[in-house]
Structure 1
Amino acid sequence: MHISKVDLNLFIVFEAIYAEGSITRASLKMSLTQPAISHALNRLRQLFDDPLFERQGHVMTPTPLARSIIEPVRRSLRGFEVTLNGAARFDAASSERSFSLALRDVLEASVLPPLMAGVAREAPAVTLNTLQVSRRELESELAAGTLDAAIDILLPLSNDIRRTQLAGDKTVVLVRRGHPLVKRRALTLDTYLQLEHIQTSSRRRGPGLEDVELSRQGLQRRIRLRCQHYFAACRVVAETDLALTMPEGLARIVNQQFNNQLLPFPLDMPALDIYLYWHTSVDNDPANLWLREQILAAMAIS
């Protein structure tokens, strides 16, 4: 069937139902009546000769065919949007655009201050939303345009996702001043392995990067505490003999009020490389280009 015979608005409705899981919520999102949404869905069902969505309780569950076409549909809709937006130059000074950036919470403290300083200076009405998105969903969200960009470690994503490397970060070990096993600001590998450690992670289980590096040498440290946030871990370090291994840049921020010792990690460990990700469909989008420039500038001074 030729595209000229298809109402492309039907695919906007399709994506809305898929994203919301409900005809009611899709109608609210699009400011259309529920009968209008239902009518569009019926036309799509005839077009594809497939129900596309089946009601399970209060949720519209996509069929296998719907799941197979959602990403191409989202990429196409995003392409149309970029084409329309790209027709005009992005004027940061007058724009009221809202950008969404996927950012792990461990990076917020180092990335956001310089980033927002630059955004506020150049674009006083632009807003920024940072989100923690599952890495399994990162590519689909970038393709759909629900994310404008993402900052994360090196990830195995498809060629539809562009990336550029940002500044890396060294690994350091924090112990309290006056620690009985760490003297003269020196930390040997033997002493590191004698210490009891804090592991900071949002995951329930699994090793940290430092544990992977130790395991390569046939070594293992003792984890005494597993917690979620580096700020809390730094406070525990200040009040106990536990040690904390973490990225240096963040350590210098969250450790300011605790004044723990920052010591080099006692093994050669590659810097933790961070990458900026965006979808190929927004390569030349003026607004996205501006956002990426702001992020690159902020990471250069953070």
Structure 2
Amino acid sequence: MKPADLNLLFHLDALLTCQNLSRAATQMGVTQPAMSAALSRLRRIFNDPLLITGHGAVEPTERALAIHQEFAPLLESWRRATAPRDILDESAPARAFTLYASDYLQFAWLPELACALERDAPAVRLRIVPARPHHGLGMLASNHAEFVAGYYPTPSNDLRARPLFQDPAVCLIRRGHPCLEHEWNIDTWLACRHVDLAVHTRHYGETLDQNLQQINRQRVIGMTLASYLAAPFVVAKTDLIATLPASICKHFSKHLDVVMMPPPLELPPIDVSLYWHERYQTDPAHAWLRRFIGEHTPAFSG
């Protein structure tokens, strides 16, 4: 049997980066029908739709993200190995970049990236802007940040995105909490009061509430926090429970008197991506850092 065309992986990379068929075609230098044909071939090869329409935008499937996480480092290594030497030299930037990220991402993702930058690109300076309500991707449009990292299911058409990693949801509960004496199910879970997160960080909360609305149930919110990292400490001292990214729960379960439980509802993992504005797409230094971040982001940061 004839092997699949490896060039299709570059098409898949463009489709997941642009999350738009016409922009992906432009990036690859092919026509839109040619890109559509490539997507059809990829779907047949992997027996998966790869890109679907959801939340008003095109979104990658979990299978597409898994494939991209496996092969993206190889594609980036190939690009770097085959790029003209002078381009590589010019694009190794002695420059400052601004990145907008929540405290969760600063905790779960940035330490490894900072270590890699210090070792391999000490001339790069990274300034982190903390997340604020109602900012998000608007920081890119206003040019207050060159990068935004996070989960944003409906980016505007003038933004590009690169999937970074996935982090599943976990419930965090104080050890000795009365609810642990009962069978762990949705009724036990809803009998507790919950910690919720502010608008700019409440991916799990929004998904939970939407799922609960479909079965005419709702949580009782005991406290709303603006910080992911404050939630484990609140949980450890109260009978409030929280639903958080697994990377946070795994860390704090080693240091606080808390236990982890699976969510009583099926929840998709949080898909963390790197976003940037179209204005920087051809900037060599910006492109260099995008590649570097992709190469130094683990498949799962938890």
Is the structural similarity TM-score above 0.5? yes
1:175 deviation in Å? Answer: 0.7
CA RMSD of aligned residues (A): 3.1
Identical columns (%): 32
- Is 1:117 equivalent to 2:115 in the alignment? yes
Secondary structure of 1:181 counterpart: helix
**Structure 1 residues 227, 108: CA separation in 2 closer, same or farther (over 3 Å shift)?**
same
Moved over 6 A (4+): 203-206
Partner of 1:135: 136
Alignment of 1:1-302 (within 5 A): 89-91=87-89, 95-131=93-129, 132=131, 134-135=135-136, 137-141=138-142, 144=143, 146-183=144-181, 187-201=184-198, 208-296=206-294, 297-300=296-299, 302=301
- Separation in 2, partners of 1:109, 1:91: 31
Q: What are the Cα deviations for residues 5-32 of structure 1, in whole angstroms up to 9, with x where unaligned?
A: xxxxxxxxxxxxxxxxxxxxxxxxxxxx
**Structure 1 residues 121, 229: CA separation in 2 closer, same or farther (over 3 Å shift)?**
same
Question: Unpaired runs of 5+ in structure 2?
Answer: 1-84
1:94 deviation in Å? Answer: 7.0
Q: Larger radius of gyration, structure 1 or 2?
A: 1
Q: What are the Cα deviations for residues 47-72 of structure 1, in whole angstroms up to 9, with x where unaligned?
A: xxxxxxxxxxxxxxxxxxxxxxxxxx
**Structure 1 residues 93, 124: CA separation in 2 closer, same or farther (over 3 Å shift)?**
farther
- Separation in 2, partners of 1:112, 1:164: 16
- Separation in 1, partners of 2:228, 2:297: 22
Secondary structure of 1:199 counterpart: strand
**Structure 1 residues 290, 136: CA separation in 2 closer, same or farther (over 3 Å shift)?**
closer
1:128 deviation in Å? Answer: 0.3
- Separation in 2, partners of 1:165, 1:159: 16
Contact 1:230 1:254 in 2 (8 A): no
- Separation in 1, partners of 2:201, 2:119: 40
- Separation in 1, partners of 2:276, 2:215: 36
- Separation in 2, partners of 1:148, 1:203: 19
- Separation in 1, partners of 2:292, 2:257: 32
Q: Structure 2 length as normaliser, TM-score?
A: 0.62
The one-letter code sitting in structure 2 at the alignment partner of 1:199 is D
**Structure 1 residues 284, 93: CA separation in 2 closer, same or farther (over 3 Å shift)?**
closer
1:259 deviation in Å? Answer: 3.7
**Structure 1 residues 234, 100: CA separation in 2 closer, same or farther (over 3 Å shift)?**
same
**Structure 1 residues 210, 120: CA separation in 2 closer, same or farther (over 3 Å shift)?**
same
- Separation in 2, partners of 1:301, 1:182: 29
Question: Unpaired runs of 5+ in structure 1?
Answer: 1-86
- Separation in 2, partners of 1:93, 1:164: 19
Secondary structure of 2:211 counterpart: helix
Contact 1:231 1:254 in 2 (8 A): no
Contact 2:102 2:150 in 1 (8 A): yes
1:243 deviation in Å? Answer: 0.9
Count of aligned pairs? 213
1:167 deviation in Å? Answer: 1.7
Secondary structure of 2:167 counterpart: coil
The one-letter code sitting in structure 1 at the alignment partner of 2:138 is E
Q: Structure 1 length as normaliser, TM-score?
A: 0.62
Secondary structure of 2:165 counterpart: coil
- Separation in 2, partners of 1:124, 1:201: 35
**Structure 1 residues 205, 295: CA separation in 2 closer, same or farther (over 3 Å shift)?**
closer
Contact 2:172 2:241 in 1 (8 A): yes
Secondary structure of 1:267 counterpart: coil
